[in-house]
Amino acid sequence: TQLLEQSPQFLSIQEGENLTVYCNSSSVFSSLQWYRQEPGEGPVLLVTVVTGGEVKKLKRLTFQFGDARKDSSLHITAAQPGDTGLYLCAGGTGTASKLTFGTGTRLQVTL
């Protein structure tokens, strides 16, 4: 069974601070996706990374896929209240008919 552990589980920070969320597994994935879920809504895809060592930037968000394709990180610079939500990583294996979702990191950014 493939598992994706995210850390930290909860994070409460003030506006303007930086943070990093980690997604780790003992399994190799062909791709890694990050989603953000706001209260009362479904998850929304933020990014997909497919190459070991790949780094993608989306405004203040930086995503990295580990060299061995077993882990990933999400770094947010100068967090804003609009970044509040549940962040989920998900691993794909190319041939399987499903994604494996991580345990989630709940982020709260206050003024």
Partner 1 sequence: ETGVTQTPRHLVMGMTNKKSLKCEQHLGHNAMYWYKQSAKKPLELMFVYSLEERVENNSVPSRFSPECPNSSHLFLHLHTLQPEDSALYLCASSPGVRGDYGYTFGSGTRLTVV
In the complex, the residues that contact partner 1 under the rule CB under 8 A are 4, 30-31, 33, 35, 40-45, 48, 50, 88, 90-104
Q: Which is nearer to partner 1, 20 or 30 (CB)?
A: 30
Q: Which is nearer to partner 1, 19 or 86 (CB)?
A: 86
We find the least distance from the C-beta atom of residue 19 to partner 1, in angstroms, to be 21
What number of residues does the chain have?
111
Phi, psi of 64 (to 5 degrees): -135, 140
Q: Which is nearer to partner 1, 65 or 79 (CB)?
A: 65
Q: How far is CA 1 from CA 27, 28, 92, 101, in A?
A: 9, 12, 13, 12
We find the least distance from the C-beta atom of residue 62 to partner 1, in angstroms, to be 19
Separation CA 101–CA 105 (nearest Å): 12
